């Protein structure tokens, strides 16, 4: 019984370590958002907003001010950036790609692990857009 308990503990700790330490491959996550319309998804959200001069740079500033958020790949100058935001306690990564498409910004936020983010990405993205004044 003792061995079973410790085996379960090791499996759980290994899973938690994988969630926090798993590498984020830009080839997988830094992709075209392909947003054709605003959508609320089980594991994320898609948004399209008008983008005037400086909108992308201002949104980038807002996103990078979000706790536990960093750039995975790209830049505003490149016209596409993918950010990783980790949850506070478990370190679950969520990926948000923002891409300029002429006079539109396309945002695609999605989870990596699980099947539902329980509205976390929607709340985060909508909060960013609210601060941006969209």
Q: Can you give the pTM of this predicted structure?
A: 0.88
Q: How confident is the model over 70-122, as pLDDT tens digits?
A: 999 999 999 999 999 998 878 889 999 999 999 999 999 999 988 888 899 99
User: Could you tell me if 33 and 107 are in contact, meaning their C-beta atoms sit under 8 angstroms apart?
Assistant: yes
Domain span at 80: 25-132
Check which CATH number belongs to the domain holding 74 and give it: 3.30.310.10
The verdict on residue 2 lying in a domain is no
Considering only CA atoms, which of 96, 53, 43 is closest in space to residue 74? 96
The verdict on residue 15 lying in a domain is no
Q: Residue 46: which residues within 8 A CB-CB, separation 6 or more?
A: 33, 35, 37, 38, 39, 106, 107, 108, 109
Q: How confident is the model over 7-66, as pLDDT tens digits?
A: 888 888 877 777 677 889 999 999 999 999 999 999 999 999 999 999 999 999 999 999
């Amino acid at each position: 019984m003792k061995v079973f308990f410790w085996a379960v503990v090791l499996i759980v700790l290994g899973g938690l370590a994988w969630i926090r330490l798993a590498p984020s491959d830009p080839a997988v996550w830094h992709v075209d958002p392909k947003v054709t319309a605003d959508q609320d998804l089980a594991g994320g959200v898609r948004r399209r907003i008008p983008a005037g001069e400086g909108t992308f740079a201002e949104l980038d500033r807002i996103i990078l001010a979000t706790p536990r958020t960093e750039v995975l790949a790209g830049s505003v100058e490149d016209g596409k950036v993918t950010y990783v935001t980790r949850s506070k306690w478990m370190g679950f990564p969520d990926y948000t790609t923002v891409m300029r498409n002429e006079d539109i910004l396309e945002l695609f936020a999605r989870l990596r692990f699980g099947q539902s983010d329980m509205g976390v990405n929607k709340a985060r993205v909508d909060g960013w857009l609210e601060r941006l004044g969209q």
